[in-house]
Amino acid sequence: MKATIMYAAGDVRVEDVPDPSIVEPTDAIVRVTSACICGSDLWPYADMEPSETGQSMGHEAIGLVEEVGAEVRAVKPGDLVVMPFAYSDGACEFCQEGLQTECVHVGFFGNNGINGAQAEALRIPLADGTLFPLPVGEDHALMPSLLTLSDVMGTGHHAAVVAGVKPGDAVAVVGDGAVGLCGVIAAKRLGAEQIIILGRHQDRTDLAREHGATDVVAERGAEAVARVRELTGGFGVHGVLECVGTAGAIETSLEIARPGGAIGRVGVPHYPAIPLAQPMFYKNIKVGGGPAPVRAYIDELLPDILDGRIEPGRVFDRTVGLDGVPDGYRAMADRESIKVLVKP
């Protein structure tokens, strides 16, 4: 089968690899019908050291179950399933708390010998705890939105949950990528009254407005901080959804949070330590977040997608086949595309 392998920064290839097969009795094999390229895939695309074996790519997909191991009970061949970006057993105490990304058996697709989802098929470990069967057919019109349950919509929602967003709040979303846009959707869904998006790409901030953003701040650094304070009566916002992961983004987040506010971090941190420890302390600011337990959030978000109340699939602005994946990376890295959908 064909799969996407990254060999170095800027070097993504689609190659023939062995077909996946059942290894453990708890495995399933899924034939991918829709996958996508993630903003987090752009980090290695920018800075990966050359590797002879390469890195298997992709962690978001919807597909058809093709085969299951002897112990799999929750899904069967022919089921259409959404795959969260992490696999989990669904049984340990963290899974039962709804924190599947901290499962004692957690793993992330594309790592530890498990191939990635930008491929024709993949092996799903712990299929019962991981896969979520969808109540629709593979040609359903809402497929792009359903695909976001794999990662970006659940991740934006996690940022909003950790930031404690509640009805009437003033909220800021730092970052205008797909996760930031889903963060806007999540904040509005949870009742935020004012939603300020910090981003510099007008096509993206225009889309954010359509999803419920009330204000756009295109400035950065100190100017962005001043602008957010001005928009919020001088105090800052109750909750910040930090959807970037750079030192500048977390610093801005801490400066625009009002006293007693909270920051939900879902951008993978590319900084060694959280800055501004003293102001954070004296403002009683809470900072939390991490890999989103998107498996837990599907139950809550799926009905809103099926009813058309939220349309996170609008983050996709380009569709390619597997052969178009390398150019899809380039288009996202060049900010030509917000998020690329892959139809293998």
Q: Footprint of Zn ion on this chain (CB under 5 A)? A: 88-89, 92, 95, 103
> Among residues 99 and 216, whose Cβ is nearest to Zn ion?
99
Closest CA to 301 of 156, 131, 177: 156
Smallest separation (angstroms) from Zn ion to the CB of 88? 5
Smallest separation (angstroms) from Zn ion to the CB of 126? 8
> Among residues 105 and 286, whose Cβ is nearest to Zn ion?
105
Tell me the three state secondary structure of residue 203: helix
Smallest separation (angstroms) from Zn ion to the CB of 129? 6
Smallest separation (angstroms) from Zn ion to the CB of 26? 12
* Residue with token string 């940022």: 159
> Among residues 95 and 250, whose Cβ is nearest to Zn ion?
95
> Among residues 158 and 227, whose Cβ is nearest to Zn ion?
158
3-state SS, one letter per residue, for 65-121: EEEECCCCCCCCCCCEEEECCEECCCCCHHHHCCCHHHCCCCEECCCCCCCCCCECE
Smallest separation (angstroms) from Zn ion to the CB of 106? 7
> Among residues 105 and 229, whose Cβ is nearest to Zn ion?
105
CB within 8 Å of 242: residues ≥ 6 apart: 159, 174, 175, 249, 250, 253, 263, 264, 265, 266, 267, 289
| Residue of closest CB approach to Zn ion | 103
Smallest separation (angstroms) from Zn ion to the CB of 87? 10
Handedness of CA 6, 104, 122, 294 (dihedral sign): negative
Smallest separation (angstroms) from Zn ion to the CB of 90? 6
Write the DSSP symbol of residue 141: T
> Among residues 111 and 284, whose Cβ is nearest to Zn ion?
111
> Among residues 79 and 89, whose Cβ is nearest to Zn ion?
89
Handedness of CA 106, 109, 115, 120 (dihedral sign): positive
Per-residue CA distances from 265 to 58, 159, 257, 301 (Å): 22, 6, 13, 20
Chain centre to alpha carbon of residue 251: 21
